[in-house]
C-alpha cells in the first residue's frame, strides 16, 4: 500500500496556520507566544528572521523587532544549538552571556518578562525555527506534563508551515525597487501609515504597492508575503 500524504490542504497559508496555532495554544493556557521564521542555516535572531508574536502588547513587540534588540536576544540560538526544550531562565543561566546579552536580559526584566518555555522546532532541509511560550509566571518541573503536549502541537504546525513554504514558486518574482522597500518594511512590522511616512509617499500609494506586491508574490496576506520574500531572497536589508 502506498501513502501519498500531503500536509497542506487547499486554503492553507502560513498566516492561517500561525493564527490557528496561537488560538489552539492560548485555549490551553498559553498567554503569549512567538515564532521565528528563518531561512535555513541563518541565526534565529538575524536580520533575515521574521518573528511573529501573539498575545504580547504592541509596544513590547515593536521594541523586540528592532534589529539591534532582536540580535541581542541570547535565548533562540542557544536553544537551537542545545536542541531541546528549556525555560528562559535555564537558557540564560546555561550560557556565558556577553554584555549585549546581559543588557537584553535587564531590559526584558524591566518590561515585566518573568519566565517562559523556549522550544526548538525542526523541519526538512534545515528549516528550523525557535518557538517560545509565555504563561505569565515562572515555570517549574511540575509543568512538564502541561508543556509536553503543547510542544508536540507546535512541532506539528511547524511541519505544515515548512510544507507551505516549500510549495512556493522557486522562480524569483520580479519586484521593483519600491516594491522591495515596501516588502522590507512589511517584514519589520510597519503599518501602511508608517510606510507612507518612511517612504514619503501617500497612504493610497502604499496600498497600491501592496496590492501589486501580493499579486506578484501570489499571496493574500502580509505574513505569506514575508515568507515568500525570505525564501526567494527578495528582502533587501538596509
Of 166, 192, 207, at which residue does a domain stop?
166
Q: Residue 173 — very low, low, confident or very high, per pLDDT cuts 50/70/90?
A: low
pLDDT at 3: 42
Mean pLDDT within 205-227: 89
Least confident of 29-38, 163-172, 182-191, 223-232: 163-172
Same domain, 160 and 181: no
How high is the pLDDT of residue 111? 87
193 lies in the same domain as 78: no
Task: Looking at the structure, tell me whether residues 133 and 193 fall in a common domain.
Answer: no
Q: Where are the alpha helices (DSSP H) in the chain?
A: 14-26, 58-64, 67-70, 75-82, 88-93, 99-110, 144-166, 177-187, 192-199, 203-217, 222-231
Task: State whether 151 and 183 are in the same domain.
Answer: no
pLDDT tens digits for 86-122?
999 999 999 999 999 999 999 999 988 999 999 999 9
The sign of the torsion formed by the CA atoms of 142, 148, 149, 150 equals positive
Cell of residue 108, nine digits: 526584558
Q: Which domain holds residue 80?
A: 14-166
Amino acid at each position: 500500500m502506498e501513502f501519498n500524504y500531503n500536509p497542506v490542504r487547499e486554503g492553507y497559508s502560513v498566516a492561517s496556520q500561525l493564527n490557528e496555532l496561537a488560538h489552539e495554544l492560548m485555549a490551553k493556557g498559553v498567554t503569549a507566544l512567538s515564532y521565528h521564521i528563518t531561512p535555513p542555516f541563518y541565526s534565529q535572531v538575524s536580520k533575515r528572521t521574521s518573528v511573529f508574536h501573539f498575545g504580547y502588547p504592541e509596544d513590547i513587540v515593536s521594541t523586540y523587532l528592532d534589529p539591534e534588540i532582536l540580535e541581542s536576544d541570547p535565548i533562540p540560538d542557544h536553544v537551537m544549538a542545545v536542541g531541546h526544550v528549556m525555560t528562559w531562565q535555564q537558557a540564560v543561566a546555561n550560557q556565558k552571556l556577553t554584555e549585549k546579552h546581559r543588557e537584553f536580559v535587564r531590559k526584558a526584566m524591566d518590561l515585566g518578562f518573568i519566565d517562559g518555555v523556549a522550544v526548538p522546532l525542526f523541519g526538512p532541509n534545515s528549516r528550523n525555527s525557535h518557538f517560545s511560550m509565555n504563561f505569565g509566571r515562572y515555570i517549574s518541573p511540575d509543568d512538564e506534563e502541561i508543556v509536553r503536549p503543547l510542544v508536540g502541537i507546535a512541532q506539528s504546525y511547524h511541519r505544515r508551515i515548512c510544507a507551505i513554504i516549500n510549495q512556493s514558486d522557486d522562480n524569483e518574482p520580479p519586484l521593483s525597487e519600491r516594491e522591495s522597500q515596501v516588502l522590507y518594511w512589511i517584514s519589520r512590522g510597519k503599518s501602511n501609515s508608517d510606510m507612507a511616512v518612511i517612504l514619503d509617499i501617500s497612504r493610497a500609494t502604499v496600498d497600491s504597492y501592496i496590492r501589486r506586491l501580493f499579486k506578484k508574490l501570489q499571496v493574500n496576506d502580509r505574513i505569506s508575503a514575508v515568507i515568500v520574500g525570505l525564501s526567494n531572497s527578495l528582502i533587501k536589508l538596509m
